[in-house]
Structure 1
């Protein structure tokens, strides 16, 4: 998963996904299926993307009592996605249950999906966390705490801002995954994100994977935009 660029397929239905993917025909992509798309199309969209040869990050951010998360993950494991996730704020027991469910649902001889946990959303600000979540520490401290809890639970990594990825890598090691949304080119609009970073900053911080959505999916020429992003992210001409 190192140095992956994951395209967020934040579309309302499968028809728009198929239209978007037309220029990429025959090319293996790493794509993210989130709540908007999955809740409309269900497992069928995952199967469609797998049949097309794409890698999949199923971004449903499970957060519930441990037994419910375990049962849900057991079912999701059968979809054979590459990555799934939970909210770290659900606690260590819940995250351990998520892993148990994934392992129970993964067929013999198959590799279980990697499981990562959301620390703090990249749309969350310091003030919002302090006032609305009543967490009195700095946002960086909160993210590192959740990341440490995630590793203690045995998960593979976290979703975080690239701004925190270097500190997580320093404290928890280079093999612990950091998957970072909120990545913007200097010329991009910030939109609803608060803690953003450029792809160059993410690369220099040792981020495992970046998640890019509208900058590619809403571009006039998505394929050209994707190639440009890959050049900047990888630091080389394609």
Structure 2
């Protein structure tokens, strides 16, 4: 069963924790990204976990292998249940990230390590694609590299999830940002509805503003969950 991850994309702790309290008991996962993590630091992870949430630390690490190893180790030590790196960092960086995760993971509780393929805000005009290469081709190439290097899954658009599963196996996880209840005018381009993403094979669906900026965030989250379930009936 796919799971909903609500992005707490707020500039400060007060707003993030207010939203977390609103969603507690409705959703299992929340995401802490660059803005909130930079403003607040790792201590917010422990507070969210004390509220019963699992936490996806979305910092998209990309650096030399030893630096990424230490960054992943620190994120897991701070309480991350899922972390991500850029697959474009290469094989040695991905291996180092796995080492960092294993060093910090507690017995019986191993967080998930995902690799970013192509950001859902990007289209063909944003990428230096080879002649005849599509975004889907690039995503699959990166996903295969991540799978062969031991990642648990990838971050990709729902539009590529089916092909990723076919190439890398059903146990290789797909986390899909850009989930919308309907068409939206924002900076995400390759988007899908919850039902479409689940039908395509997504294991985790990330929703931010469509939930957190809704007049009733809890009801918006429930609408996402209902649509996710409808695709499996």
TM-score (norm 1): 0.92
Aligned residues: 230
CA–CA separation in structure 2 for the residues paired with 1:8 and 1:24: 11
The answer to whether structure 1 residue 154 and structure 2 residue 150 are counterparts is yes
Runs ≥4 residues deviating over 4 A: 25-28
* 1:102–1:142 distance in 2 versus 1, CA, 3 Å: same
Alpha-carbon distance in structure 1 between the residues aligned to 2:25 and 2:174: 28
Equivalent in the alignment of 2:174: 178
How far does the alpha carbon of each residue in 1:88-129 deviate from its partner, in whole angstroms, 9 at most, with x for none?
11011101100001111223x242211000000001101211
State the superposition RMSD in angstroms: 1.5
Structure 2 equivalent of residue 192 of structure 1: 187
Q: What residue number does 1:122 align with?
A: 120
CA distance in 1, matches of 2:207, 2:193: 11
Aligned partners of 1:46 and 1:56 also within 8 Å: yes
Cα separation, partners in 2 of 1:135 and 1:79, compared to 1, 3 Å? farther
Q: Is the 8 A contact 2:161 2:202 kept in 1?
A: yes
Given candidates 183, 201, 224, the residue that maps to 2:219 is 224
Aligned-pair distance for 1:27?
Answer: 4.8
Shift of 1:33: 0.5
The Cα shift of 1:22 comes to 3.0
SS in 2 for 1:81: coil
Partner deviation per Cα, 1:187-206 (whole Å, 9 max, x = no partner): x4130011111112111111
Q: What is the rounded CA distance, in whole Å, between the counterparts of 1:77 and 1:180 in structure 2?
A: 21
Q: Which runs of 5+ in 1 are unaligned?
A: none
Ranges in structure 2 where 5+ consecutive residues have no aligned partner: none
CA, structure 1 residues 66+135, in 2 after alignment: closer, same or farther (shift >3 Å)? farther
Structure 2 CA distance for partners of 1:25 and 1:42, relative to 1, 3 Å: same
